Amino acid sequence: MSAKGRIPNWADVTLVPLTSVLLAFILSAILIWAIGESPWEAVKLMVDGAFGSSYGWGYTLFYATNFMFTGLAVAVAFQARLFNIGGEGQALLGGLGVALVCLYIPWPHWSLALLAACAGAAAFGALWALIPGYLQARRGSHIVITTIMFNFIAASLLGYVLVNVLRPQGSQDPSSPRFPSEIALPKLHEMLALVGIPFSRVPPVNISLLIAIAMCFAVWFLLWRTRLGYQIRAFGESEPAAQYAGISPARITVVVMLISGALAGLMAVNSVMGEQQRLVLNAVEGAGFIGIAVALMGRNHPLGVALAAILFGFLYQGGAELALWTSIPRELIVVIQALVILFTGALDNMVRIPIARMFARRGAG
Amino acid sequence: MITAKTAYVLHSDQGMTHPATEPMRQGTAASSPFAIELRGISKAFGPVQANKDISIRVRRGTIHGIVGENGAGKSTLMSILYGFYRADSGEIVINGNHTEIPDSLSAIRAGVGMVFQHFKLVENFTVLENVILGAEAGGLLRPSLAKARGLLKDLAREFELNVDPDALIENLSVGHQQRVEILKALYREADILILDEPTGVLTPSEADHLFRILRGLKEQGKTIVLITHKLREIMDVTDEVSVMRRGEMVATRVTSQTSPTELAELMVGRKVLLRVEKPPASPGDEILRVEGLRLVDAQGVERLRGLDFNIRAGEILGIAGVAGNGQSELLEVLAGLRPADGKAWVRGAPLPLSGAGSDAQSRRALRIAHVPEDRHRRGLVLNFHAWENTALGYHHDPAYNPTRWKMDNAAIIRDTESKMAAFDVRPPDPQLKASGFSGGNQQKIVLAREIEHGPDVLLVGQPTRGVDIGAIEFIHQRLIRLRDAGAAILLVSVELDEILALSDRVLVMFDGRIMGERMPDKTNAQELGLLMAGMA
């Protein structure tokens, strides 16, 4: 008997995030209007830029692929109530895994290289998450602190490796050599051409998109259909109850962080192998952090994460178009993205409580 | 808004007058003989009607009991009176004045004080600091503290409310902490004192002391509302009693003209058995044996100080004691939730109390089931569906988990349905979240899970805490039936009546030790009460 009442499940996953996004957009519109641009034109430009052509779609989906991986990473950890802020570092390390696999082993075919790159990315990402996970499980070091710190360590480590190990002789650029062109991943336009659908050749969206979607399904299956998932969720919902059920908190913490880190690491398959075809210094470009917002908005459910990833892909791509065609400064795009994060993440209760009241009143009346 | 009382700050300027010795501050309003009149109070939470058109009148200077099952709406009604909730409709009249109580500050101003079941005290503050918290006379603490000290001394003398004003709350016994709560209310000049289940955490002698305090307060003209589910207390201490059932006020009786049987029937709406039908036990072989069990907690305090006992098949061993004397720790150790020192055997085979094989999963493998004391924290995952809770702890069971990694959700749901039917869980919906069931039905879900696996040993803590009378009957019958099927049952309960009704042997625990063993038919509550207080 709580005074707040309860929101029906469907409203919790649709109405609440949509209202939050709407509020963020209204505030953004006021901002755009305040700097003398037309909010309506801006929205049109963004939607058109992100969804109006296969070129726009291609970029939107490319970004969405990144966000699905990092969003899933955060969501899985959060099911165990572990706040993995380290997606950024884990994805960076995943990139290193991809680069090592692609550079040092001559693969006969891209498909084998892809499998190996996935394994490398997942293993390196998982390894990077294992250390904070172990420290939390055995030493009680708070995972939020350690994963944040590990982002910095990962960046420094990657800088060192790129400059001192992977950089080709004589190059001024802190990046690895290009991967062999034989193992370039098939792009979406090539795949769609097989079934006769024309698609823009420019955007870097590639077969990793399918891996990301498969991962969404795999995570759903893991959480709601397997014994391990049951244990993860029980541990997340109530540690004393999990202990009562004989679920080892330390074991679950470590296992969940391994899975989370592996998912974050997999992002590198898309960005490093799919797009850049080499390892560069800032291969992750903040996607690890966006993953937190994506998971928040997707309510830590794989389907929600997939949808939220597309929304953030839209914001990225639409925002780029906006910066290109109007005098709206790039920074404002970041502000709009920040507003969406603010409303969906931090101000969740501001929207949730009135909606809960609305349902409570309807239920009573 | 009419406030029958002067605000605290005004009063403090008048110096250290004792509230009770002052002239009637209610003035003209005192003409009404009722301290509290609630008229037509209704309150709904969504579709749940917690209070339906409730009217009640509490005479000034009396002790008025409110009884009812869990979920009958007692706490909601009192929360409305104390300003935690606002009623959807109805009016509140305090001392003859219509009073709006939008928040607890207004309640305090109207002279209503509340002593909660779970104390609201700052553990590392002194008694004095707790008493003035929120009612400081000004920005500087020293004058407030000095004033409070004087007042406290007067109150202590008058009402047997002796507490050291400079003691830290964390060093006080539960009974003393409760006195601090009462002092807090009196310091805020409460004329009307509401106590919510005040004896749940007290020993019988502490409870008697509390009742002496309450009678003293009554003699000084205070009005006391006592919320409880213990009919014995109602009969002992109240002048009038109101009975609530399903959000409605079903009857008010003069206590001297009613009986526990009548009250129980009014509460439940039908005839109830107050005693369990229990055939004599026919104990078999020894199933569980414990020797020299010791436990030192993280703070270095010895919680269990060398326990020795055994339980035989087909026997219920009751552990009586005031909450916090090691019973919870004993359950947790045996259930594999915390390591301890000592020796234990199950069916003659050694039972590791620490290290490998001492976790909860290994205990279940040895057919030791556990109904934990705190079903909300441990026994259930409140956010899980009923069927997911049915698998809790048994998620390795091949019936649920034939492939060792993929759960057979459909099988679990089917099994939950049959368990719910066997234990009459309402509503019998496996998809409902555990938080959506009433306390009694939640407990039935836990019991069904633990009992239906046919354990050799059942560890059960507070099996009927927060459970309505109808379900208590059912749960007691199930425990007896499990005993008669040959299980060894360790029953921990703070309800002496429950211990006496169910147990075949009773151990009394005090301060981590066993104070003595008694046979339930050769002892009584008084004798056990003395043992529970550490007086052997």
Encode B284-353 in three state secondary structure: CCEEEEEEEEEEECCCCCEEEEEEEEEEECCEEEEEECCCCCCHHHHHHHHCCCCCCEEEEEECCEECCC
DSSP-assigned letter for residue B433: B
Whether the predicted pLDDT of A17 surpasses 90:
no
Q: How much is the pLDDT for B360?
A: 94
A1·B336 Cβ contact <8 A = no
B420 min Cα distance to partner chain A (Å): 20
Q: How far is A240 from chain B (nearest CA, A)?
A: 5
Q: Tally DSSP H helices, then E strands, for chain B.
A: 17, 20
For residue B20, the model assigns a pLDDT of 40
Longest dimension (CA), chain A: 76
What residue has token string 């590791």? Answer: B352
- Phi and psi at A105, nearest 5°, equal -120, 125
Nearest CA in chain B to A245: B393
Residue among B85, B337, B367, B381 with most chain A CBs within 10 A, to mutate: B381
Whether B384 and chain A come into contact, CB under 8 Å, resolves to yes
Tokens of B86: 């606002």
Structure confidence at residue B31 as a pLDDT band (50, 70, 90): low
Question: Is the predicted pLDDT of residue B2 greater than 80, yes or no?
Answer: no
Please list, in sequence order, all residues whose beta carbon lies within 8 angstroms of the beta carbon of residue B175, skipping any fewer than 6 positions away. B202, B203, B206, B209, B210
**Would you say residue A192 has pLDDT above 90?**
yes
Instruction: Give A-chain residues touching B401 at CB under 8 angstroms.
Output: 227
Of residues B393 and B117, more confidently modeled: B393
pLDDT tens digit string along B341-357?
999 999 999 999 998 88
Asked if A251 and A257 touch (Cβ cutoff 8 Å), the reply is no
A6: nearest CA partner in chain B: B46
pLDDT value at position B33? 85
**Is a pLDDT exceeding 50 seen at residue B17?**
no
| Best-predicted range by mean pLDDT (A12-16, B6-10, B128-132) | B128-132
Residue of B378, B382, B383 best to disrupt the A interface, most CBs of A under 10 A: B378
Question: What mean pLDDT is predicted for residues A104-108?
Answer: 91
Position B272 scores a pLDDT of 60
Classify strands B63-68 and B223-228 as parallel, antiparallel or unpaired.
Answer: parallel
* pLDDT value, residue A191: 92
Residue B506, pLDDT above cutoff 80:
yes
Measure the CA–CA gap between B396 and B414, rounded to whole angstroms. 17
Distances, alpha carbon A260 to alpha carbons A90, A207, A284, B115, in Å: 9, 21, 16, 47
Region B51-67: what's the mean pLDDT?
A: 92
pLDDT surpasses 70 at B413: yes
> Phi and psi for A98 in degrees, rounded to 5?
-60, -45
Could you give the domains of chain A?
Answer: 49-346 (1.10.3470)
* A353 at B interface, C-beta within 8 A: no
* CA closest to A3 among chain B residues: B45
pLDDT confidence of B39, banded at 50, 70, 90? very high
pLDDT higher than 70, residue B362 = yes
Give the whole-angstrom CA distance, residue A132 versus residue A117: 24
In B17-150, beta strands by DSSP E: 34-45, 48-59, 63-68, 89-94, 97-98, 112-115
pLDDT at B3 over 50: no
Query: Options 3.30.530.20, 3.30.420.40, 3.40.50.300, 1.10.8.60; which CATH number does B273-367+455-536 get?
Result: 3.40.50.300
Residue A103: is it exposed, middle or buried by C-beta count within 10 angstroms (0-12/13-18/19+)? middle
Report pLDDT digits (tens) over B251-277.
999 999 998 888 888 887 766 655 677
How much of chain A, in percent, has pLDDT values that exceed 90?
67
Search chain A and give the residue with CA nearest B404: A227
Mean pLDDT check: name the lowest of A346-360, B319-333, B498-512: A346-360
Cα dihedral sign for B110, B115, B121, B126?
positive
pLDDT at B422: 94
pLDDT confidence bin for B337, thresholds 50/70/90: very high
Report CB contact under 8 Å: B383, A248: no
Flag if B392 and A246 touch (Cβ within 8 Å): no
Q: Judge: A230–B335 Cβ closer than 8 Å, yes or no.
A: no
pLDDT given for residue B170 in this prediction: 85
The band of A3, judged by pLDDT with boundaries at 50, 70 and 90, is very low
Averaged confidence pLDDT in chain B:
86
pLDDT at A6: 63
Given this model, what pLDDT does residue B439 score? 80
Place of tokens 């009773």: B506
Q: What is the pLDDT of residues B124-182, one digit of tens each?
A: 999 999 998 888 777 788 888 888 898 888 888 888 788 888 989 888 888 888 889 98
How confident is the model at residue A85, as a pLDDT? Answer: 94
d(CA A272, CA A287): 13
**Does the beta carbon of B530 lie under 8 angstroms from any beta carbon of chain A?**
no
CB B331 within 8 A of CB B317: no
Residues of A in contact with B50 (CB under 8 A): 1
CB contact under 8 A, A359 and B76: no
The total number of residues written for chain B in this structure? 536
Partner-chain contact B335 A244, CB within 8 Å: yes
Q: Which of A204-213, A293-302, B362-371, B485-494 has the lowest mean pLDDT?
A: A293-302
What confidence tens digit (pLDDT) does each residue in A62-97 have?
999 999 999 999 999 999 999 999 999 999 999 999
CA-only gyration radius of chain A, Å: 21
Token readout for B216 is 């003293």
Give the phi and the psi of residue A91 in degrees, each rounded to 5.
Answer: -70, -35
Element (H, E) at B211: helix B204-219
CA pair distance B5, B142, nearest whole angstrom: 26
- pLDDT tens-place string over residues B75-99: 888 889 998 888 899 999 999 888 8
CATH code: domain B8-268 is 3.40.50.300
Give the separation between CA B141 and CA B129, rounded to whole angstroms.
9
Which residues make up the CATH 3.40.50.300 domain(s) of chain B?
A: 8-268, 273-367+455-536
CB contacts under 8 A, A 172-231 vs B, are 225-231
Tell me: the pLDDT tens digits for B429-479? Answer: 999 999 888 788 899 999 999 999 999 999 999 998 877 777 888 999 999
Question: Alpha-carbon distance A308 to A16, whole Å?
Answer: 13
Pick from B274, B78, B249, B205: which is nearest to B527 by CA?
B205
> What's the confidence (pLDDT) of residue A127?
97
Residues of B in contact with A3 (CB under 8 A): 45, 85
Q: How distant is the Cα of A252 from the closest Cα of chain B, in angstroms?
A: 15
| Rounded (5°) CA angle B119-B125-B130 | 55
pLDDT of residue B46: 66
The mean pLDDT value for A276-301 works out to 90
Q: Which of A6, A225, A241 sits opposite B392 (nearest CB)?
A: A241
In the block, tokens 């009958």 appear at B72
Cα end-to-end span (Å), chain B? 56
Q: Please report, rounded to a whole number, the percentage of residues in chain B having pLDDT higher than 70.
A: 92
DSSP state of A246: T
Confidence of residue B47 (pLDDT cuts 50, 70, 90): low
- Which H or E run includes B451? helix B439-451
Contacts of A355 in chain B (CB under 8 A): none
**B388 vs A230: CB contact, 8 Å cut-off?**
yes
B contact test, residue of A225, A238, A300 with most B CBs within 10 A: A238
For residue B23, pLDDT beyond 50: no
Q: How many CA atoms lie within 13 A of A109 on its CB side?
A: 3
* Interface contact flag, A246 B361, Cβ < 8 Å: yes
Flag if B383 and A237 touch (Cβ within 8 Å): yes
Residue A230 with chain B: CB contacts under 8 Å: 388, 391, 395, 407
- Residue partners of B197: CB distance under 8 A and separation at least 6: B117, B227, B228, B229
DSSP output for A282-317: TSSTTHHHHHHHHHHHTTT-HHHHHHHHHHHHHHHH
Choose among B478, A138, A302: nearest CA to B491.
B478
Q: B392–A234: do the CB atoms touch at under 8 Å?
A: yes
Which residue of A3, A5, A248 is in closest CB contact with B85? A3
The predicted pLDDT at position B335 comes to 96
